[in-house]
């Protein structure tokens, strides 16, 4: 099944080729994603975005990467040398390692693991160590605050994420990502488990540290958080890692919830169709994550934690419970759809109720001038704007 490396017999060469392919994929996709994000943000904000380097600024990020590589690798004098210098790797390696087991099509992956889902979740969960290291070793209070925030956030959002994925694994009966896709067959899982899908998206947003959960790196509060003292190549490693995780979570989401390389019109799609399908589904995720980033503001750290522990985790367990009922009693999938949908509605209602959304009325005190304003009376000054 290892289509990427099947023509070489030697196991070491096999792995080397696979790793090289992954590095290439990772770098190119990160460069493209950064460009895409800048373009999307520009369009949302009615700007042009990068336009100069290459057609439509396509090479802008490549130029930026070159600049970053050429920059001096600065380290604060009081920083803890080894921890400081190793932190980028501690963030970079887990994200890289997670990519190894993600299948891109039915028979394209570096390694098909039977515990693929478990492995991906476990490995990506390690990244918080890197943030903590960076925050602690920089000897900077902003970095410390950011590192602590990152640790708290990543650990707590790992829980609902894992629980929803457990719910998926329960019904699929496997932790193998390819088998989860095969299980979904024609109808992707998000139809049956909208609640799980919702929790997955929210938790993924938090794991990716994007708005509304970009608290660890909050630009206007802790000025980049753990990355504040980094520059040059080390900083770009953080950047690369963050965009690779964006790719990983999008791939994971499209495999687990959107049916990966399958689609409703038929199974056994050809290779090119498979690639196209997974590409489109992943792009949908990526576009959504980017769109959200520019449409929402940031939560506060206490609100973030209470939202996770008080809302998301109980609801995630609810999803597990529902799946269990369906499995044990053999109820039809429609039941799952109904109850999970109701759970989603509940989640939205909780957001609605927890927030004081009552529209506030301003008291309008009229300032009415007499004077020579004969025409003024005709002008409507009630300010419907």
Give least dist CB 160 to other proteins, A. 18
What's the maximum distance between 2 C-alpha atoms anywhere in the chain?
95
- The residue among 134 and 255 lying less far from other proteins, judged by its C-beta, is 134
320 vs 316: CA distance, rounded Å? 6
Residue 382 is a binding residue for other proteins (CB under 8 A): yes
* Identified binder of other proteins from the candidate list 10, 28, 52, 338, rule CB under 8 A: 52
Sign of CA dihedral 213, 214, 216, 222: negative
273 burial (CB, 10 Å; 0-12 / 13-18 / 19+) is middle
Is there a contact between 291 and 40 (Cβ–Cβ < 8 Å)? Answer: yes
318 vs 63: CA distance, rounded Å? 48
Give least dist CB 70 to other proteins, A. 22
Q: How far is CA 121 from the centre of its chain?
A: 13
- The residue among 23 and 345 lying less far from other proteins, judged by its C-beta, is 345
Residue 366 is a binding residue for other proteins (CB under 8 A): yes
CB within 8 A of 322, min separation 6: which ones?
167, 336, 339, 340, 343
The one segment of 229-237, 298-306, 310-318, 328-336 that binds other proteins by CB under 8 A: 298-306
Residue 43 is a binding residue for other proteins (CB under 8 A): yes
| Phi and psi angles of residue 266, each rounded to the nearest 5 degrees, phi first | 155, 155
Give least dist CB 368 to other proteins, A. 5
* Identified binder of other proteins from the candidate list 25, 62, 170, 296, rule CB under 8 A: 296
Residue 281 is a binding residue for other proteins (CB under 8 A): no
Exposure on the CB side of residue 155, measured as CA atoms within 13 A: 10
Residue 364 is a binding residue for other proteins (CB under 8 A): yes
Residue 295 is a binding residue for other proteins (CB under 8 A): yes
Residue 299 is a binding residue for other proteins (CB under 8 A): yes
The one segment of 4-12, 184-192, 220-228, 249-257 that binds other proteins by CB under 8 A: 220-228
- Tokens 């995780």 correspond to 245
Exposure on the CB side of residue 21, measured as CA atoms within 13 A: 17
Residue 215 is a binding residue for other proteins (CB under 8 A): yes
Residue 74 is a binding residue for other proteins (CB under 8 A): no
Within 123-142, the residues that bind other proteins by CB under 8 A are 141-142
Binding site for other proteins (CB under 8 A): 40-48, 51-52, 141-142, 145, 211-212, 214-215, 218-223, 291-303, 348, 351-352, 354-357, 359-360, 362-373, 375-377, 379-383, 385
């Amino acid at each position: 099944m290892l289509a990427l490396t099947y023509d070489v017999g030697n196991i070491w060469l096999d792995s080397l080729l696979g790793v090289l392919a992954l590095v290439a994929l990772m770098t190119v996709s990160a460069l493209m994603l950064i460009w895409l994000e800048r373009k999307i943000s520009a369009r949302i904000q009615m700007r042009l975005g990068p336009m100069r380097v290459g057609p439509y600024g396509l090479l802008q990020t490549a130029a930026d990467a070159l600049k970053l590589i050429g920059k001096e690798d600065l380290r604060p004098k009081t920083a803890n040398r080894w921890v400081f210098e190793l932190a980028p790797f501690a963030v970079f390696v887990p994200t890289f390692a997670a990519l190894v087991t993600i299948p891109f099509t039915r028979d394209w992956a570096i390694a098909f693991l039977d515990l693929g889902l478990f492995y991906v979740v476990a490995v990506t969960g390690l990244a918080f160590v890197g943030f903590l290291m960076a925050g602690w070793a920089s000897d900077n209070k902003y970095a410390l605050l950011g590192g602590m925030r990152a640790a708290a956030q990543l650990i707590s959002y790992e829980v609902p994420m894992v629980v929803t994925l457990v719910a998926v694994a329960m019904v699929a009966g496997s932790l193998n990502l390819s088998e989860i896709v095969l299980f979904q067959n024609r109808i992707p899982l998000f139809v049956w488990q909208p609640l799980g899908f919702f929790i997955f998206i929210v938790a993924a947003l938090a794991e990716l540290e994007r708005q509304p959960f970009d608290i660890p790196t909050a630009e206007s509060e802790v000025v980049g958080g753990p990355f504040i003292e980094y520059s040059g190549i080390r900083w770009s490693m953080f950047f690369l890692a963050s965009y690779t995780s964006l790719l990983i979570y999008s791939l994971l989401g499209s495999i687990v919830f959107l049916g990966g390389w399958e689609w409703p019109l038929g199974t056994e799609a050809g290779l090119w169709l498979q690639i196209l399908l997974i590409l489109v589904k992943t792009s949908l995720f990526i576009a959504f994550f980017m769109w959200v980033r520019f449409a929402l503001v940031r939560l506060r750290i206490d609100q973030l934690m209470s939202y996770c522990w008080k809302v998301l985790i109980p609801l995630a367990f609810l999803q597990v419970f529902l799946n269990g009922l369906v499995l044990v009693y053999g109820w039809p999938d429609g039941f799952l759809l109904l109850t999970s949908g109701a759970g989603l509605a509940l989640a939205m209602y909780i957001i609605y109720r927890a927030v004081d959304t009552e529209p506030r009325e301003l008291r309008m005190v009229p300032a009415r001038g007499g004077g020579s304003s004969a025409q003024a009376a005709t002008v409507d000054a009630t300010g419907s704007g």
